[in-house]
């Protein structure tokens, strides 16, 4: 898989962040830069995917040009599939608000951390209902987790794009995998008849893989089923810029794909309330579609070492002491 090198991703983000600063008024810049100086403070690990305001600059009051620049910055944090997914989630949120009688501009909050024009680590995030993107950039690389996308409804039934279903591939690949299993292998993957009512890690500052069921290991799957699990994992990694997605997958392969596991809870038919998760030594994936009678989906990708750019920040601040 070819893609933009990590240095190119960081350069594109830097240019997009500078472009955003250039089109904002001074008061907007002050709102954008809300936050502490250091990027490893606990306050910066507080997040939520529920409705409500966040620290930072609200997109609600931006003009057309300013919104375009925010969209360009958001695109730099994703591969092609990830960018399409995020755009779909934003469109579903517009549909939800219009259906609830609250149409209007998008309501997300953008926050710039550090100086994109300097040599020190810097980052940014975009948060709002059902969307949470967290980015950190250093000379050593780019990190983009925790990464959360939700959709309410999971499938739209009317509006400008009938049947919009941004998380459809995440659901369909997992269902194809669980329904392909039989006998003891399916029993090992199914951990509960009733699914949990949300992702198990919720908005934890640091995700604990131990909260997730062990599930069925990769090495117990038939080759075709293994490919399905790989495609499912790839769907989540494709949320990231391609260079970083390849890095995460290469790390998983190097540590042994036999350590991957898949677990499912709930019904197997489309429309049934359900949940699944994937565990790996370094990352975890969760998906639930349980609220609103199985028409309200949540999905998250967490990295045990990389969330919030912890590994890059640790390396940077350690080097400063030598």
Q: Return the percentage of the chain with pLDDT > 70, whole number.
A: 95
**Residue recorded with tokens 């893609």:** 3
Task: Reply yes or no on whether the pLDDT at 15 is more than 80.
Answer: yes
In the predicted structure, residue 159 carries a pLDDT above the cut 80: no
pLDDT at residue 38, as a whole number: 85
Longest dimension (CA), the chain: 63
CA distance 60 to 125: 16
Cβ distance 165 to 156 under 8 Å?
yes
Backbone phi, psi, residue 190, to 5°: -80, 115
DSSP letter string over 120-139? S-EEEEEEETTEEEEEEEET
> Which regions of the chain does DSSP assign to beta strands (E)?
57-58, 108-113, 122-128, 131-138, 141-143, 147-151, 190-192, 216-217, 261-266, 274-279, 283-289, 297-303
State the burial class of residue 253 (Cβ atoms within 10 Å of its Cβ: 0-12, 13-18, 19+). exposed
What pLDDT does 1 receive? 32
- Distance between CA 64 and CA 227 in Å, rounded? 43
pLDDT tens column, 187-241:
999 999 999 999 999 999 999 999 999 999 999 999 999 999 999 999 999 999 9
pLDDT tens digits along 236-283: 999 999 999 999 999 999 999 999 999 999 999 999 999 999 999 999
Task: Round to whole Å and give the CA distance between 56 and 179.
Answer: 44
End-to-end alpha-carbon separation of the chain, Å? 38
pLDDT at position 158 is 53
pLDDT of residue 4: 42
Q: For 56-89, how does the pLDDT look when each residue is reduced to its tens digit (9 = 90+)?
A: 999 999 999 999 999 999 999 999 999 999 999 9
In the predicted model, what is the mean pLDDT of residues 43-57?
96
Residues 6+ positions from 142 with CB-CB distance below 8 Å: 6, 9, 10, 13, 135, 136, 241, 243, 244
pLDDT at position 35 = 81
Query: What per-residue confidence (pLDDT) applies to 57?
Result: 98
Answer whether 276's CB lies under 8 Å from 174's CB.
yes
| pLDDT recorded at residue 306 | 96
pLDDT-based confidence at residue 320 (cuts at 50, 70, 90): low
């Amino acid at each position: 898989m070819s893609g933009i090198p990590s240095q190119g991703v960081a350069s594109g983000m830097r240019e997009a962040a500078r472009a955003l600063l250039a089109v904002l008024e001074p008061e907007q810049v002050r709102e954008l830069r809300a936050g502490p100086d250091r990027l490893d403070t606990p306050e910066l690990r507080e997040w939520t995917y529920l409705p409500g305001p966040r620290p930072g600059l609200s997109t609600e009051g931006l003009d057309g040009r300013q919104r375009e620049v925010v969209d360009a910055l958001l695109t730099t944090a994703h591969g092609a599939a990830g960018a399409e997914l995020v755009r779909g989630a934003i469109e579903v949120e517009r549909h939800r608000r219009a259906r609830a009688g609250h149409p209007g501009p998008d309501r997300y909050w953008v926050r710039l951390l550090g100086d994109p024009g300097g040599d020190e680590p810097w980052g940014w995030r975009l948060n709002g209902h059902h969307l949470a993107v967290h980015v950190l950039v250093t000379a050593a690389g780019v990190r983009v987790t925790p990464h959360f996308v939700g959709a309410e409804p999971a499938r739209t039934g009317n509006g400008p794009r009938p049947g919009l279903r941004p998380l459809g591939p995440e659901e369909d690949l997992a269902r194809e995998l669980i329904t392909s299993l039989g006998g003891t292998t399916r029993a090992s993957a199914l951990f509960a008849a009733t699914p949990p009512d949300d992702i198990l890690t919720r908005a934890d500052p640091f995700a604990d893989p131990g909260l997730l069921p062990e599930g069925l290991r990769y090495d117990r799957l038939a080759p075709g089923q293994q490919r399905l699990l790989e495609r499912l994992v790839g769907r989540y990694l494709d949320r990231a810029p391609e260079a970083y997605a390849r890095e995460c997958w290469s790390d998983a392969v190097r540590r042994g794909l036999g350590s991957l596991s898949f677990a499912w809870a709930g019904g197997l038919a489309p429309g049934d309330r359900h949940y699944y998760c994937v565990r790996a030594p370094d990352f975890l994936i969760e998906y639930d579609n349980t609220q609103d009678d199985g028409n309200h989906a949540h999905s998250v990708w967490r990295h045990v070492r990389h969330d919030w750019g912890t590994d890059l920040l640790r390396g940077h601040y350690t080097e400063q002491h030598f």
